[in-house]
Amino acid sequence: MCGIVGYVGWRGAQEVLVNGLRRLEYRGYDSAGVAVVDGTGGLEVHRAAGPLDNLVAVLPEEDVSGTTGMGHTRWATHGPPTDRNAHPHRDVTGKVAVVHNGIIENFAALRAELEAEGVELASDTDSEVAAHLVARAFGADPDAGLTAAVRAVVARLEGAFTLVFTHADRPDEIVAARRSSPLVVGVGQGEMFVASDVAAFIDHTRDAVELGQDQVVTLTADGAVVTDFHGETARTRPFHVDWDIAAAEKGGHDFFMLKEIEEQPASLADTLRGHLVDGRVVLDEQRLSDQELRDIDKVFVVACGTAYHAGLLAKYAIEHWCRIPVEVEVASEFRYRDPVLDRSTLVVAISQSGETADTLEAVRHAREQKARVLAICNTNGAQIPRESDAVLYTHAGPEVGVAATKTFTAQVIACYLVGLALAQTFGTKYADEVAREYAELESSADAVARVLEAVVEPTRALARDLAPSKAVLFLGRHVGFPVALEGALKLKELAYMHAEGFAAGELKHGPIALIEQDLPVVVVMPSPKGRAILHQKLLSNIREIQARGARTIVVAEEGDETVRPFAEHLIEVPAVSTLLQPLVASIPLQVFAAEVARARGYDVDKPRNLAKSVTVE
Ligand code: M6R
Classify domain 452-599 at the CATH class level.
Answer: alpha beta
Share of the chain above pLDDT 90, in %: 79
Coil, helix or strand at residue 473: strand
Angle between helices 581-599 and 480-495 (to 10 degrees): 20
Atom 10, ligand 1: which residue's CA is nearest?
Answer: 306
Exposed/middle/buried for 29, CB within 10 Å: 0-12, 13-18, 19+? buried
Q: Which atom of ligand 1 is nearest to the CA of 407?
A: 3
Rounded-to-integer distance, Cα 63 and Cα 8, Å: 15
Domain residue ranges of the chain, discontinuous segments joined by +: 3-252, 259-442, 452-599
* 562-593 tens-digit pLDDT: 999 999 999 999 999 999 999 999 999 999 99
Residues linked to residue 174 through DSSP beta bridges, in sequence order: 219
What single-letter amino acid sits at 286? Answer: Q
Matching CATH topology for 3-252 and 452-599?
A: no
Residues in contact with ligand 1 by the CB-under-6-Å rule are 304-307, 351-353, 356, 359, 402-404, 489, 493, 613-614
Atom 7, ligand 1: which residue's CA is nearest?
Answer: 305
pLDDT at 549: 93
2 is catalytic: yes
Identify the CATH assignment for 259-442 out of 3.40.430.10, 3.40.50.10490, 2.40.10.10, 3.30.70.1090.
Answer: 3.40.50.10490
What would the mean pLDDT of 346-363 be, rounded to a whole number?
Answer: 95
* 503-518 tens-digit pLDDT: 999 988 988 899 999 9
Please give the model's pTM, rounded to 2 decimal places: 0.78
Confidence of residue 247 (pLDDT cuts 50, 70, 90): low
pLDDT at 75: 79
CA of residue 379 to ligand 1 center, whole Å? 13
Mutate to test the pocket of ligand 1, among 27, 308, 353 (most ligand atoms within 8 A of CB): 353
What would the mean pLDDT of 467-476 be, rounded to a whole number?
Answer: 96
CA of residue 138 to ligand 1 center, whole Å? 39
CATH architecture of 3-252: 4-Layer Sandwich (3.60)
Helices (H), 467-518: 480-495
Output the average pLDDT for the chain.
93
Mutate to test the pocket of ligand 1, among 27, 197, 255, 351 (most ligand atoms within 8 A of CB): 351
CA of residue 304 to ligand 1 center, whole Å? 6
Comparing 97-101, 379-383, 397-401, 570-574, the range with the smallest average pLDDT is 379-383
* 399-424 tens-digit pLDDT: 889 999 999 999 999 999 999 999 99
Say whether pLDDT at 18 is over 70: yes
Residues with Cβ within 8 Å of residue 46, at least 6 apart in sequence:
33, 34, 55, 58, 59, 60
Rounded-to-integer distance, Cα 87 and Cα 189, Å: 28
470 is catalytic: no
CA of residue 47 to ligand 1 center, whole Å? 28
- Pick from 186, 174, 183, 175: nearest CA to 69: 174
CA of residue 248 to ligand 1 center, whole Å? 18
- Of 95, 259, 490, 612, the catalytic one is 612
What single-letter amino acid sits at 284? Answer: D
What single-letter amino acid sits at 91? Answer: D
pLDDT at 159: 85
* 35-89 tens-digit pLDDT: 999 877 789 999 999 989 999 999 987 766 799 999 999 977 788 889 999 999 9
